[in-house]
Amino acid sequence: MQKSLHINADKCTGCLQCEMACSYEHYGVFNISKSRIKVFEFHLTGKKVPYTCTQCAEAWCLQACPVDAIRVDVITGAKVVSEDTCVGCKVCTISCPFGTINYVQDTGKVQKCDLCGGDPACATACPTQAITYVDSDWTGLDKMREWADKLGNQSGAN
Amino acid sequence: MSWAGKLLRVNLSKGTCQSEPLNMQWAKEYLGSRGLASKYLVEELDPKVDPLSPDNKIIWATGPLTGTMASTGGRYTVVTKGPLTGAIACSNSGGYWGAELKMAGWDMVIFEGKSPKPVYLFIENDTAELIDASDLWGKTVWETEPAIKTKHQDPQIRVSCIGRAGENQVLYAAVVNDLHRAAGRSGVGAVMGSKNLKAIAVRGTKGVGNIRDPKGFMAATAAAKAVLAGNAVTGQGLPTYGTQVLMNVINEVGGLPTRNHQDVQFDGAKDISAEAMATPRASDGKAHLVTNQACFACTIACGRISKIDETHFTVENKPQYFGASGGLEYEAAWALGAANGVNDLEALQFANMLCNEDGFDPISFGATVGAVMELYEMGVLTKEQLGIEAPFGSAKALSYFAEITANGVGFGKELGQGSARLTKKYGHPDLSMSVKGQEFPAYDGRVIQGIGLAYATSNRGACHLRGYTIASEVLGIPVKTEPADTQGKPELVKAFQDATAAFDSAGICIFTSFAWTLADVAPQLQAACGEEFTVENLTTIGERIWNMERDFNNRAGFTHKDDKLPKRLMTEAAKTGPGKGTVSGLDTMLPEYYKIRGWDKEGRPSEETLKRLGL
């Protein structure tokens, strides 16, 4: 079963545990500026929204890379950057419609979410289940269940 | 390690920024944040210095766990000699700024002297420079932060700054970061203003990468987070209701100081409680509370984000206040509400927003308004002097006062001096509900005996965060003690004070202590910093910090005569509630407390005590 990161922004508190877990997993350091998942705070509405790569089926970044540095991990389905191959041309950062692949000055390469090889550190670290790792074909399952409960419980519903 | 290992020393008179290695011996003895910054302050500062003079110093400090995955590891403190009290001041804040400073590679920043013109400090990793802030002077906190981000073309900069209250040296001005998190108490913002220092803007991209035992640290922090999640207070109560969960609880135990401590229960408590915040309003059908919010690394998320009623009189034609904003937290809701007899939730939110926007402490402000309202009812202060009729319960007066305080307009200038100076000026010093010049927070010290002793002996003036015995006396954490009992309270207060100093100095939030003891903190510090940070050592470190602060205050001129509560709490018995008829038993508890502390009868640490603690 292929799995996907599933984000429920309503549950996000803005603690940034996910960002620290991401940077620790990939660089061995707590450094939110190196995180591949980013929490955006919209202070006028109070909304906090974690955002990262959705692992597009037909990935623009992968298509755009002139040196084939982005490959599909066959087990997780993640589009993974090979740092050995990446030349830091940044074309992928332009092609990605969502902005979730970015250049890293320190390494001279790009970085993006790689699903941590199938055990995403951000999902493990999230204290509120705003980020979960679920069956790719059923990312809507929880929401469906919620609505089913809500509507199915209405007495006299017809 | 997990300390960055260096500090930044900024001489504002000369305009210089210099890097210094952190004194690692002191780091081991005083941990970080509150303890370590206080150590630097007491070593470098003449205790008799005028707090608002260029000779005072002010320090922003993180702890060893700041900027890590330890839950709540995002705290920083601002340490200086406080202008409200004249005692050592240490105010603690959350949000994201502290972690950003640590990730830029600095444990602390020490400011000396006074800049000849307004400046702000900009730190980008290893580089630091003072930049002209003439264009920012006069701006609010809410204007300053975006202005700096725009100027540097970097939305990820974090800003710790003062608003107009700090500039105008309101004696309880706060330092505010991330728009509505504040190092709120004791007037640290006024010291910043006195130095012509508007803001510290930080961008840190280096991170914290020197954890001693990373795998052990991840395991220890995960285990500690599980403790928080499983605890009724930190896992359910605080995330759901915030600190405001206390409003009805404290009212029921008859410990909610009301109308300048004339009463201990407020009939309007329910109108300004957590439950009220979550109930849809009659006017627009929306609840006041929008969501909760965590500070950096916090897995509790007690913060409240609310929206004011757009039809409320306070914000008529003021759309700038319509957005979601911080508050209400319990202490602010109490000080702006019960302390003044005001039960208008929206007026409280408005006043609270102004406290954040202009940078001043809602506790001291609200309590000062309470004293003013009492003086008004007595006929000592008049409508002509105040600019408004100000009986207890007047939401209009509260809102008006909040608008004139930061700028020192009219009577606002006097409000900005705090209740001790104000009541003295008008001939009724006994009506200031304060210790050492700092106003009480939201628990009545005559009904809840332990907290009364904690207030009287707090090193920064009346404060609940220096020894939160409410945990034991009301909530039963770690063990239930009776609020009315004086016996055993000196020991309880000492234990809370020492442990709190250790929590604060680690760089974590004291709210974790609803669920954690030092036995939960020690494994995290041991994995991060070194094996020597055992529970026993942390307890000693806490006690060492407490005595160091006390010794500074003694040398600043404080004596046992300053460890006192206002006459009202000593002689006017509680009129209602479970504690009806009681007054503070401070006279019984204080000598015992000194004895347990190893202090002489004048409240000075004995030679033996100082020696035992390595002071």
Task: Compute the average pLDDT of residues B321-334.
Answer: 97
Nearest alpha carbon to residue B165 among B425, B418, B426, B372: B418
Assign B82 a pLDDT band (cuts: 50, 70, 90). Answer: very high
Half-sphere exposure of A139 (CA within 13 A, CB side): 13
Q: Which of A21, A27, A44 comes nearest B69 by C-beta?
A: A21
Q: Per-residue confidence at A156, pLDDT binned at 50, 70, 90?
A: low
Nearest CB among A15, A29, A33 relative to B298 is that of A15
Task: Output the pLDDT for position B127.
Answer: 98
pLDDT, tens only, B590-609: 999 999 999 999 999 999 99
Whether the predicted pLDDT of A35 surpasses 70: yes
pLDDT tens digits, residue range A57-96? 999 999 999 999 999 999 999 999 999 999 999 999 999 9
Q: What is the pLDDT of residues B344-364, one digit of tens each?
A: 999 999 999 999 999 999 999
3-state secondary structure B376-437: HHHCCCCHHHHCCCCCCCCHHHHHHHHHHHCCCCCCHHHHCCCHHHHHHHCCCHHHCCEECC
Pair B113, B195: CB distance under 8 Å: yes
**Residue A40 structure tokens:** 């955006």
Arithmetic mean of pLDDT over chain B: 98
Q: Which residue of chain A comes nearest to B204, CA vs CA?
A: A33
- Answer yes or no: is pLDDT of A153 > 90: no
pLDDT of residue A37: 98
CA angle B403, B406, B407 (to 5 degrees): 90
pLDDT score recorded for residue A1: 87
Q: What is the pLDDT of residue A155?
A: 61
Is A29 in Cβ contact with B156 (below 8 Å)?
no
* Residue for token pair 């502290």: B98
Task: Compute the mean pLDDT over every residue in chain A, rounded to the nearest whole number.
Answer: 95
How close is the nearest chain A Cα to the Cα of B296, in Å? Answer: 5
Q: How far apart are CA B361 and CA B380, in angstroms?
A: 25
Mutate to test the interface with B, among A8, A11, A12, A15 (most CBs of B within 10 A): A15
CA distance readout (Å), B407 to B170, B173, B316:
9, 11, 21
- Which residue among B71, B206, B324 sits closest to A43, beta carbon to beta carbon? B324
B435-465 tens-digit pLDDT: 999 999 999 999 999 999 999 999 999 999 9
Residue-level pLDDT at B90: 97
* pLDDT at residue A157 greater than cutoff 70: no
Chain A residue at shortest CA distance from B156: A33
Query: What is the CB neighbour count within 10 angstroms for residue B287?
Result: 14
Q: What is the pLDDT of residues B228-238, one digit of tens each?
A: 999 999 999 99
- Asked if residue B532 has pLDDT above 70, the reply is yes
**ipTM > 0.90, yes or no:** yes
Determine the pLDDT at residue B271: 98
Give per-residue pLDDT as tens, B2-60. Answer: 999 999 999 999 999 999 999 999 999 999 999 999 999 999 999 999 999 999 999 99
pLDDT at position A38 over 60: yes
Check CB contact under 8 Å for A32 and B299. no
Q: What is the pLDDT of residue A152?
A: 84
